[in-house]
Structure 1
């Protein structure tokens, strides 16, 4: 039997990432952003509020 589980979480190095439009830092995918990942542009609430 294979020891790998198909629904296992990916390690941080394998998760998708983006660059924050405000600070320019890279940030990685979070479970919280799962449904809205295409629209996520900022790494934090602070960056989102300072962009306005």
Structure 2
């Protein structure tokens, strides 16, 4: 599969698109965040809401 045809998602924390990676092959449906940094900062963002 060519790189331009890989599936993409939008990260809910940084609102940037990210593409499929080989390490996410088995659980792409469950991947929500583009990086570990965004995954850890999601907890901080939910606590900041009034």
- TM bucket, shorter chain: 0.7 to 0.9
Structure with the largest fraction of helix: 2
What are the ranges of 5 or more consecutive residues in structure 1 without an aligned counterpart?
1-9
1:49 to partner: Cα distance:
0.2
What are the ranges of 5 or more consecutive residues in structure 2 without an aligned counterpart?
44-50
Root-mean-square deviation (CA), in Å?
0.6
Q: If you compute each CA radius of gyration, which structure gives the higher value, 1 or 2?
A: 1
Q: TM-score, normalised by structure 2?
A: 0.82
Question: Deviation above 6 Å: which 4+ runs of structure 1?
Answer: none
